[in-house]
């Protein structure tokens, strides 16, 4: 395992982060828990043994179990060896609070610290942008938390590019701590949709830590198109396509199939799996530091994902995957999201 600087934070992190949103996640219709406590600790063990140090969670993942299980695991290790990121917007502390008010941000951070059994978060992401609360009030609250040592860096997850820019501007004029890390939805088949957001990140030297870097598993190559259809696919047993009714709406599209074809071709050329190539494509982004978050369900999946660090793709192969989103006339293939 090697490490890279996370944008302007000064943090040294492994090039792939471990996502824990599956920890404790229960599907209402089936009652299936994607990752239970034992499996969660096994994944954390495997990640740490491989040299991984960047753990991503949120206050509400698994109803709070994700943070609790990470906290149990960290209690037996040196906390300083790990970079832990969490998030706030939706409340775990009050059923009435879903915002970035001073009250909610402080309550959610305190709750996260308690569940994680730690004194500080390395990174606090604002999970969404709150249109009803002036962003400078939220940033003032986060600035206070930084002064108290409870948060070290602030980031932003899902938002429009202009809202990210507004947050940076408000931090600058008020001399508050500014965003240094972002967490958008971003993968090889989903670029134009967040291009302006990524342009801001490149211009302001913000690290990009994308979620769903494998398009919910679509870019692993485990799915096959049924006949000539765009949206119909053959899904193996117990995969996300079977568990999540929104899977096809979010990830299966004409553009996705073409990008997957290019990813598969490059994987064959370099002797890697499609998942490894899709992750390598993100890690090799030239304009900003990109550290994808993988949400593996098994140790075997995690080990395959980490194998992306041993894969090399050429600039021609990188550009071929990028260009796969366009038809011969230079038009973007359709996507759903």
pTM, to two decimals: 0.91
Backbone angles phi, psi at 125, to 5 degrees: -90, 140
Question: Residue 95 has what pLDDT?
Answer: 73
Is the sign of the CA dihedral 237, 243, 247, 251 positive or negative?
negative
Marked catalytic residue, from 61, 176, 190, 251: 61
Question: Residue 236 has what pLDDT?
Answer: 54
Question: Residue 242 has what pLDDT?
Answer: 42
| Residue 230 contacts residue 223 (beta carbons within 8 Å) | no
State both tokens at 41: 């600790």
The whole-angstrom separation of Cα 70 and Cα 74 is 6
Number of residues that this document lists for the chain: 337
Burial call 130-141: b when 16+ CB within 10 Å, e when fewer = beebebbebbbb
Continuous H helices in 148-228: 161-174, 195-204
Nearest CA to 4 out of 79, 83, 71, 59 is that of 83
- Is residue 251 annotated as part of the catalytic site, yes or no? no
Full pLDDT tens readout for the chain, 337 residues: 899 999 999 999 999 999 999 999 887 666 778 899 999 999 999 999 999 999 999 999 999 999 999 999 999 999 999 999 999 998 887 776 789 999 999 999 999 999 999 999 999 999 999 999 999 999 999 999 999 999 999 999 999 999 999 999 999 999 999 999 999 999 998 888 899 999 999 999 999 999 999 998 889 988 777 665 554 555 555 554 444 444 454 467 788 889 999 999 999 999 999 999 999 999 999 999 999 999 999 999 999 999 999 999 999 999 999 999 998 988 887 765 4
The whole-angstrom separation of Cα 300 and Cα 312 is 21
How does strand 17-19 pair with strand 54-56? Answer: parallel
Question: Residue 131 has what pLDDT?
Answer: 94
How does strand 233-234 pair with strand 224-225? Answer: antiparallel
In sequence order, what E strands does 159-288 have? 179-182, 207-208, 224-225, 233-234
The whole-angstrom separation of Cα 87 and Cα 58 is 5
How does strand 4-5 pair with strand 224-225? Answer: unpaired
């Amino acid at each position: 395992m090697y490490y890279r600087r996370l944008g302007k934070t000064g943090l040294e992190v492994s090039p792939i982060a471990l996502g824990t949103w599956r920890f404790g996640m229960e599907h209402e219709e089936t009652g299936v828990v994607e990752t239970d406590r034992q499996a969660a600790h096994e994944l954390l063990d495997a990640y740490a043994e491989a040299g991984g140090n960047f753990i991503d969670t949120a206050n509400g993942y698994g109803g709070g179990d994700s943070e609790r299980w990470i906290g149990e695991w960290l209690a037996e290790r040196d906390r300083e060896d790990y970079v832990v990121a969490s998030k706030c917007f939706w409340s775990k502390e009050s059923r009435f609070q879903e915002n970035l008010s001073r009250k909610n941000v402080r309550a959610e951070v305190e709750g996260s610290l308690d569940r994680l059994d730690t004194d500080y978060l390395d990174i606090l992401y604002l999970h969404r942008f709150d249109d009803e609360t002036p962003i400078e009030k939220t940033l003032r609250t986060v600035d206070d938390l930084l002064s108290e040592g409870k948060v070290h860096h602030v980031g932003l997850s899902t938002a429009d590019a202009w809202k990210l820019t507004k947050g940076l501007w408000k931090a600058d004029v008020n001399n508050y701590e500014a965003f240094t890390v972002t967490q958008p939805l971003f993968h090889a088949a989903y670029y134009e949709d967040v291009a302006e957001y990524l342009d801001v990140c490149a211009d302001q030297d913000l690290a990009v830590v994308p979620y769903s870097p494998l398009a919910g598993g679509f870019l692993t190559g485990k799915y096959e198109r049924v006949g000539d259809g765009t949206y119909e696919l053959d899904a193996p047993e117990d995969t996300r396509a079977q568990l999540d009714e929104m899977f096809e709406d979010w990830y299966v599209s004409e553009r996705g199939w073409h990008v997957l074809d290019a990813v598969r071709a490059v994987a064959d050329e370099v002797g890697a799996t499609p998942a490894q190539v899709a992750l390598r494509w993100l890690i090799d982004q030239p304009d900003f530091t990109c550290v994808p978050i993988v949400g593996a369900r098994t140790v075997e999946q995690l080990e395959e994902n980490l194998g992306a660090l041993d894969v090399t793709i050429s600039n021609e192969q990188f550009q071929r995957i990028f260009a796969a989103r366009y038809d011969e006339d230079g038009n973007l293939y359709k996507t759903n999201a």
